[in-house]
Amino acid sequence: MQFTISCRAPRNGAGKDTEARSAPRLGCEGSSTPLQGAESGVVHVSQGHAKNTYLISQHRSAVLLLVLLLASCTQQMADQPRYDPLQASDFFPNGSSARPLPDGVIPHDYPAKQDWRDTGMINGKPADRFPFPIDNAVMLRGQQRYNIYCSPCHDYIGTGNGMAAIRGFQRKPPSFHSAELRGDPVGHFFDVMTNGFGSMPSYANQIPIRDRWAITAYIRALQLSQSATINDVPASERQKLESEKEK
């Protein structure tokens, strides 16, 4: 706001007013009533000028904000010179912008898969044996991992009636107890867990190699549990079962 100060003071006690340097008497423009505490001055306030000053200040603030926003939207890093994948280049002698990888480099997320223990394949066919002995600890580990990762779709006994399959799949997973899957070698199940099959994704990132073999061993146990006969039971255990049956 702009203030214009004019002062009036009596000369030698006379009735005429003259301008003076002091301005203790204050009053607003358009009013003859002095402000409280004023004696000899009047302050004239121009409301129109104050409004224009306020608008100019707001305009400057808006311009400054716009400049900051425009500066933050620049694409200098995105528009910098670069080569697209496999684009030709005159800079390198071979004319290619892509640089050859040093000898011995492998992708960081794909370990070397050469042994059939890592692939489940022998000479391009599913392995028909396990890469390590299967004992009780391996079976218990396989049961635990199966219940965590496999049972939601394949259920706990491997019939393909898991809760996720029932509620969300248009086509249920096959039963492990079908004649086809009972006849498949163990490398088939390891390969499916590693690379996926049909609508089933790969579980290589979730399940380590040894656990995949342990799950495969447990699947074999499930298959045997649903199709075994008394003749498949060891002789020592068979006698116990027969004696319990007679009771």
Superfamily of segment(s) 116-246: Cytochrome c-like domain (1.10.760.10)
Q: Which residue has the higher pLDDT, 16 or 225?
A: 225
Place of tokens 């099959």: 197
CATH 1.10.760.10 residue window(s) in the chain: 116-246
Predicted confidence band of residue 104 (pLDDT cuts 50, 70, 90): confident
pLDDT of res. 154: 96
CA 224 – CA 184 distance, rounded (Å):
13
Q: Is the pLDDT of residue 177 over 50?
A: yes
**DSSP three-state, residue 80:** coil
Contact between residue 142 and residue 217 where contact means Cβ atoms under 8 Å apart: yes
Question: In this predicted model, what pLDDT tens digit does every residue of 84-101 receive, in sequence order?
Answer: 888 898 888 888 888 887
Q: With pLDDT > 70 as the criterion, what percentage of the chain qualifies? A: 71
Cβ contacts of 196 within 8 Å, gap of 6 or more: 202, 203
Cross-strand pairs, 125? 122
